[in-house]
Amino acid sequence: MDFYGKFAEKGSFNKIAAVCSMALCFALMASGCGQQKENVTTMTIDAEGKVSYVIYEDFSEDYYDAAELSDMAEKEIAEYNSEYISEKVALLGAEVIENEDQSRVKLEMTFDSCQDFSNFNQEFLFYGTIKEAKEQGYKISTGLVDAKGEKLPDSYLEDNEDRHIVITDDRSRIKAPYSIEYMSNGTTLNGKKEADISAVTADTVQLLLSK
């Protein structure tokens, strides 16, 4: 469940439609609904596994203004952080972006780790080496392909256990810390390190990185 979904479930955002599936958001973008390319929910993972998350979603100021939205988010974040000695989640900003006939909300958040992202959003996210993924019981697909559609070599996983992998059931756009070499079918690369995963039909998305 995503950030908005959590609030909607609790009634906090009962006047804002719970966020539609990421797949639908990307599908609308691809069909030319007037949404700007940069106004897409995006997850950025750095080399240390910290996560920056920029959320865009339709918004109606008839029900909430940006200050109320920020207060709600801060309250939920404070509740999460209270379980830890140090801050794990932070809200960097909340604003409403006005276009001709549409209002969108933009939330910028940071997470100390992929585990914190998973816990807070109730959506799965793993980043680590292939070896770490195996040790934690994750099954890495042997059907991953490169940008040309060529399948993962049979010995790749054994020969490259120090390479990193991203595994997630979230459908946000992903910016990885290293180049993406192999990926789940349906992934579209936007440059070497950025992936649009909205068309992936598998339950989880896997991205094998270059280092």
pLDDT digits (tens, 9 = 90+) for 13-56: 322 223 333 333 333 333 344 444 568 999 999 999 999 999 98
pLDDT digits (tens, 9 = 90+) for 61-74: 555 566 777 888 89
pLDDT of 70: 81
Distances (CA, A) of 36 to 12, 84, 89, 104, 172: 28, 38, 27, 11, 15
pLDDT at residue 67 in the model: 76
The model's confidence at residue 132, banded by pLDDT at 50, 70 and 90, is very high
Please give the sequence-ordered ranges of beta strands (E in DSSP) within the chain, or none if there are none.
Answer: 42-45, 51-58, 89-98, 103-111, 125-129, 164-168, 173-175, 180-183, 188-189, 194-196, 205-209
pTM more than 0.85? no
